[in-house]
Structures are given as structure tokens and as C-alpha cells.
Structure 1
């Protein structure tokens, strides 16, 4: 087969390796180099870096539109285009070029969590499981028929980063399975997505990272996990803005105002929530390093006077 691969971030790299396992990738499309790091130097995407290491042709159009871009894609005579977190919408003119159409590896169990941030939204919503789908692309956003799918449980300690890495590998496996069927002359049977249960995973926004203590502790704990490693949850804690890197739910009863510091000890900082309490385990002060709650307390001896009551008491 002649495969064109389109992808950009780390999530797409395992799928690129799977697509090119038999050296069938004839070109790689990825986002143009972007400024990154403190120096804001132009930096190649992870997919571009991997493609160049493998000696693959790399193309970086700003948009997949225009006669020149479309003619260049047609000249590759692709049998299949594989798209994984590319970052650009594919117009119908592009979808029509490959002989077998375009496949997409999507990090959710469609139709749940169509859109840009399915991994984080699944954790944030408290979902018990998620997975990956290999989808035949159509013009709608993640609405195409599903060819193959694989599920995985979401563990209580899964973060956005940990689940991202697991789903990236699972997506590569599902893609490899689909390509294996094609090579055997078998086209996966498309399963039309049901509209019932469809949800949309909106792009992450840093403004969402601010924890609202009036919400249930379970919701806040899931948000902390979902937003690690980006954008990282933020909170007002005893008069100081901090970033919360790890927390757990305490199902205790209290009558304190949400946001009140209930207890402060080596095990963590217990904060009253609208329902239950959140124990902050690891946090970061402005300009500081990520530390355990015990180390934070060493730097804030004033917190002992702010404790309203021992944890577990109303």
C-alpha cells in the first residue's frame, strides 16, 4: 500500500511507527514548526522529528486547501491516508483523494467525546472506561463510521498524561490491526455511530483550571487528574494561589464554608468542598517547585493557626 500519514503531537508518533512498519508511508503531513520553550525558537513537531529520523518525506502546509496542495497530494497516488491528531480539518476534496479514503485514530469510544480533548474530558467526567476508535473519516467532526475499537478502564490514579500514553499505544495497535486486515484483502466493516450518547470534548482552556471549592470534592479530584500535565489545576489555598498536582477525595461530613482549611499535616491539606473535602497531596507555589504537602507546610508555619477543626469533625 501507499500510505500518507498526517499527525503532529506525541500522541501520533506510535501510530506513525505502526503505519510505516512495512515502509509503506510515502509522505508525512504535519503542522508547520511553531515557537516553543523559553527562547520561543521554531520547533519541529514530534511527528516531524520521527519522520525525518526514518528518512520520510515531510510536508507542512498551513492548510489542506488550494490547487497546489491538492495536486501534490494526488501526485503521491495514496491508497490510504491515516490521520492522528493532525490539527487541521480535512476538506471533502482531500477525503476523496486516497483510493481507500482516510482513516482516523481517535482517543475515545465514539460517539462519546468527539472533538479536541477526549482524554482529559473522560477523566474529568468521572468515566469508568475509555478507549480508541479507528474511524473512516467523513466531513463531520469525528462522526464517521467506526471500523475497529478497543476499550481500556480508567484507573482511579490515572492522570491525563498517563492515560494519554496508554491510549497512544492502544491507538497504534488498533491501526496496525486495521492495516493487517487490508493487507489480507479484508476491509473492516464500518459501524455507523449512533447519535444517542454523543458528547463533545471541547478544547482545554487554562481558565477551566481554577478549582471552585463549592463543587463536590469528587469533581475537583477528577479535574486535578485530568489537567495533569496541562494546564494543571489552580486554587486559592489559605490566601495563596497554588497549582495542585495531586489530590484525593475525603468523604467526610463538615459544616464549614467551602475553601476552609480543615486540617494541615504531613498527609496533606484538607480543604472543605461543597460536598466532602479534598486532600491536596502535591502542590506548587508561584515560581517554585512541585513539593509534597509536608514540605509546603514547612514553608508555611502560619497554616496551623488557620485550621478550623481536625479532619473528620464537623
Structure 2
């Protein structure tokens, strides 16, 4: 959280407020933790964005198994960053998957899937919010299935169609204006609001938080058009329409406010060498 302090998650806050036990083991294979779960005798374990693979000792404990809510249409985008990676890959559709967990990473049989579109210019933050509601709906439907039928109806994943969503690397956050405009816009939106894709303007780091592609052509990294509410930067193919930015040490602002506050004009350059050519 702010000030780099460790803060409790909303789930822990809810548990504490309602007097529910909250276990936070450093290692899931810890014998004391496994014993505690055995004592609870859970009918079902549900995980969401947990970040760890449950070991067999935990998977075997609940009578009805362990299910996970995953923010993609499995077997697409298995792994830690499915929302970011789906936008960065230019996918136009995504969704949520409720699946019965096994020992693999997002490999278990599917119980329910719900689909939604990814709009042009939609950011990771916006899509995450949309998928959180979709995920809760899907989980309730899955629980109704278990309640009404007494078991899960599942479909195995097609391994031949599997793709992966590894964690975002720091070097991916730096925009490369030599790439195609579509790739750059997808990167900007996929990494927004955090960690945020960035470039340099007059030698200072600046995040770009929302963008679309544009049919104009121009030199990569060069500002080729400035309007009242946005500006266009050249790329290797097509160009990038910038809609929101966050200058170094400042809050997020619209592209229009940036244009007026920094007197941006056509011909200026974004990128690592922007100071040299400013």
C-alpha cells in the first residue's frame, strides 16, 4: 500500500470483522497449517488470484474438492498475469473460468466459463473490475450446480490450445516506439494502471496509461499531431493516439491537460533519447 506498508487484503479485513479464522502460512506444505485445515474439515476450498499452487495434501482434504476462479478462458492464458497478457496480445474476447484444481498450473477440468469482450482502449484496471463481477456470478452458478446436482459437471481442457501468461517483467514496461502501433497501444492498456508502461519526455520518465491506434504515419517516437484532447506519436506501423499520461512525480492527467500544461507541440520526441533532441 501507500508508504510501502503491508496492508491486509479485503478478504482478511472481512474475516477479522466477522470473527472468522484467517490463516496465512509462509509455506502451504507446513505441517501445522495442513493440520489446521484438517481440523476445519472443509467441504470446499475456493481460491482467487492466490498465486500459489495447492499441494496434494491440501487438494485432497475438501469433500467437494478445490476450485479456482481464473481470469481467462482456459486453456488460454494460464498463469500469473492473464488479464494483462490478454490485452497485450490483442485479444478481443476473454472471460473467467471456474475449474476443479489439480496439481498443475491452471490445468484442471472446467466447471463453468463466462465470456466478455475487450473493447479498444480498455485498460487492465477496467477489465479486472469487469471480470471480478463476472467471476462472482460464475462461482455462484457453480455452487448452485453442486447444491442441486450433488457433484460437478466438468470438461477437460484442450492441452493443444494452451497458452501462458507469465508475470510481467520490468523491461516490458519501457515502451519501444520501433514496434507496431497496435503492439504499443496494447502494451500501454495492458499495463494500466499498474505497473504502467512508460517512456521519456525531455529526459524525464513519463507513464502512458491509455491509448488507441491511429492510421496516421510518422517517425517512431515523434509527436506527429497535437489536438485539444489527445496527441499522436509515430510508430513502425500506424501510430499511437495518447489519451492519458502520468508525468514523473505527478498524478494521472488527461492527454489534453498534459498538452496544455507542458506546451507539447508536433515534432517533439518521446523515448530514451528525447532529452538529446528536445
**Greater CA drift, 279-288 or 259-268:** 259-268
When residues 291 and 96 of structure 1 are mapped into structure 2, their CA distance, relative to the original with a 3 A threshold, is same
* TM-aligned CA deviation for residue 249 of structure 1: 1.2
- Structure 1 residues 234-258: Cα deviation after superposition (integer angstroms, max 9, x where no partner): 013454431112222111234x3x1
Contact 1:259 1:271 survives alignment (8 Å): yes
Matches within 5 A, 1:134-173: 134-173=98-137
State the distance in 1 between where 2:145 and 2:221 align: 55
**Greater CA drift, 49-58 or 278-287:** 49-58
2:62 paired with 1:101: no
State the distance in 2 between where 1:59 and 1:67 align: 13
3-state SS of paired residue (1:78): coil
State the distance in 2 between where 1:279 and 1:146 align: 39
Selected match of 1:279 from 237, 241, 255:
241
Equivalence for 1:265 = 227
When residues 249 and 237 of structure 1 are mapped into structure 2, their CA distance, relative to the original with a 3 A threshold, is farther
- Which residues of structure 1 form unaligned runs of 5+? 1-35, 309-314
- Which residues of structure 2 form unaligned runs of 5+? 270-278
**Greater CA drift, 194-203 or 54-63:** 54-63
Contact 2:208 2:244 survives alignment (8 Å): yes
Equivalence for 1:245 = 209
Task: Judging by fraction of residues, say which structure has more strand.
Answer: 1
State the distance in 2 between where 1:242 and 1:225 align: 15
Q: CA RMSD in A?
A: 1.8
- Structure 1 residues 262-288: Cα deviation after superposition (integer angstroms, max 9, x where no partner): 123323222110101112222121112
* TM-aligned CA deviation for residue 140 of structure 1: 0.5
Selected match of 1:295 from 245, 249, 257:
257
2:76 paired with 1:112: yes
Contact 1:264 1:307 survives alignment (8 Å): no
- Structure 1 residues 111-151: Cα deviation after superposition (integer angstroms, max 9, x where no partner): 00000010111111111111111111000100111111111
- Structure 1 residues 52-86: Cα deviation after superposition (integer angstroms, max 9, x where no partner): 23332211111111321111111111111111112
3-state SS of paired residue (1:42): coil
Q: Provide the TM-score with structure 2 as the length reference.
A: 0.90
When residues 183 and 280 of structure 1 are mapped into structure 2, their CA distance, relative to the original with a 3 A threshold, is same
Contact 1:282 1:292 survives alignment (8 Å): yes
Matches within 5 A, 1:39-78: 40-78=4-42
* TM-aligned CA deviation for residue 220 of structure 1: 1.0
3-state SS of paired residue (1:196): helix
3-state SS of paired residue (1:174): helix
Selected match of 1:206 from 154, 167, 170:
170
Matches within 5 A, 1:83-94: 83-94=47-58
2:267 paired with 1:306: yes
Contact 1:267 1:294 survives alignment (8 Å): yes
* TM-aligned CA deviation for residue 305 of structure 1: 7.0
Contact 2:71 2:131 survives alignment (8 Å): yes
The count of residues paired between Structure 1 and Structure 2 equals 269
